[in-house]
Amino acid sequence: MLTCREMSELSSVIMESHLSLSNRWAVFMHLRMCSHCTLYLKQLKLTAQVLQKLPMDKQPVDGAAIIKQLNLSED
């Protein structure tokens, strides 16, 4: 069984879906029992989604507009 620390260390690999079958199973089992790591991975996914929506130019970013766009995409 993976520890929460190991889950944290594997988080980028988990996000990119580059896990071996044995690691995928270990992650699945850990997430079934650990609400903290489940929340942590959801937060990482949300952060990645927000960062992908940011414009690549150097204009100031309107955080409220990004949150509004994310809320619209959830509906």
Please write the tens of the pLDDT for every residue from 24-49.
Answer: 999 999 999 999 999 999 999 999 98
Task: Give the span between the Cα atoms of 7 and 21, in whole angstroms.
Answer: 15
SS3 41: helix
Q: Which two tokens stand for residue 36?
A: 């903290």
Question: What's the half-sphere exposure (Cβ side, CA atoms, 13 Å) at 72?
Answer: 7
Q: Give the number of domains in the chain.
A: 1
Q: What confidence tens digit (pLDDT) does each residue in 12-27 have?
A: 899 888 899 999 999 9
Q: Which among 19, 21, 20, 25 has a CA at the least distance from the CA of 2?
A: 25
Domain that holds residue 45: 4-74
